[in-house]
Amino acid sequence: MQGKITQLLSNIQAGDFKALARAITIVENSLHGYEELLLNTTEKGGKIIGITGPPGAGKSTLVNALLRQWINEHKKIAVIAVDPSSPFNYGALLGDRIRMNDFYNNPDIFIRSLASRGALGGLNPKIIEITDIVRQAPFDIILVETVGVGQSEVEIAGLADCTVVTVVPEAGDEVQTLKAGIMEIADIFVINKADRDAADAMYANLKIMVHNKAHEGQELPVIKTIATEGKGIAELATAIDSFFTTAGSHKDHKLQLATEKCWQLLQAERMKNFDKTVIKKELSEQLFQPGFNLYAFTKQFLSSAAVK
């Protein structure tokens, strides 16, 4: 098995998209050999850019526009697009991203669609492991687009080297902006659909906010885009490049990312023996009994799991 894993990683490092797709499937579904695969990865590869924001912000259109920009700059890009899940089989509802069909045959772009599988953070439960596999391939940029579920999307901040938060002009005034938890995680703000009437007011509010929150005199960029027309995209790409070139080695940021990733991996390891189908079966036998208490049931379930 070790030989097969070594060969698979070697093929990924050589830029074999089929090998990469196979490895992602192995990791996502915890198939035989997935732990060996992960244990043989190294800290290398492209920068992870997270694109997040509420539904309707135009994240997919923004991703498309960025892909065109980076292809013109001769960069190799991987896109991990996390889609909403079917409540029945946990498959990705949007499949292989019809909206990105212009890039499927491009040899410099790899696109993988993942289901969120009920994860509350707008990501896939194995997103950390999957991005580490993708980083073994020779990509300049790994773009992760989240589902767009609102404030719980803060999970992307524990994954991406640079987080781009996308909003639309109608997102509200400064007070509403500050209330939205995802606004706290941005490295770059994007006001998409900036041709709408409220764009200038939203821009002014965000500029005030980033000025008030500036650290060491550095304000977060606020960029207006019209992704459907490609306007503001070159400026956004430049802001992303500048994020990595002006902030030194990002040691503190890397340490925070590593801590968050380790924390999430530990949580997943602790939870791996809990099966929803087993919980559902046991609940079905007790839920409608007189005096049922969910907290008592959970405590009892934990005790029985610990014994096993």
Give the C-alpha separation, 139 to 141, whole Å. Answer: 5
Give the C-alpha separation, 109 to 77, whole Å. Answer: 5
Task: Name, in order, each residue with C-beta under 8 angstroms of 54's C-beta and a sequence gap of 6 or more.
Answer: 148, 150, 167, 168, 171, 180, 182
- Residue length of the chain: 308
Query: What are the backbone dihedrals phi and psi of residue 254, each rounded to the nearest 5 degrees, phi first?
Result: -65, -40
Could you state, in order of their start, the residue ranges of all structural domains in the chain?
Answer: 1-40, 44-253, 273-307
pLDDT at 147: 67
Q: Is 180 exposed, middle or buried (0-12, 13-18, 19+ CB in 10 A)?
A: middle
Bridge partner residues of 224 (DSSP): 191
CB 54 within 8 A of CB 167: yes
Closest among 168, 142, 159 to 53, alpha carbons compared: 168
pTM: 0.80
pLDDT at 116: 58
What is the residue whose two structure tokens read 């007189």?
A: 290
Identify the CATH homologous superfamily for domain 44-253.
P-loop containing nucleotide triphosphate hydrolases (3.40.50.300)
pLDDT at 223: 97
User: Around 156, how many Cα atoms within 13 Å sit in the side-chain half-sphere?
Assistant: 36
Q: Which residues of 199-232 are buried (b: 16+ CB within 10 A; e: fewer)?
A: beebbebbeebbeeeeeeeeebbbbbbbbeeeeb
pLDDT at 144: 92
pLDDT at 122: 46
Evaluate the CA torsion angle 280, 286, 289, 291 in order and state its sign: negative
pLDDT tens-place values along the chain, 308 residues long: 678 899 999 999 999 999 999 999 999 988 999 899 999 888 777 899 999 887 788 888 999 999 999 999 999 999 998 865 444 444 444 444 555 667 878 999 999 988 755 444 445 678 888 999 999 999 999 999 886 644 445 566 677 889 898 988 886 655 465 555 666 778 899 999 999 988 998 898 888 888 877 765 678 899 999 999 999 999 999 999 999 887 554 667 677 777 877 887 888 788 877 888 889 999 999 998 999 998 899 998 888 876 66
Could you give the C-alpha distances from 136 to 84, 156, 205, in angstroms and in order?
Answer: 26, 20, 40
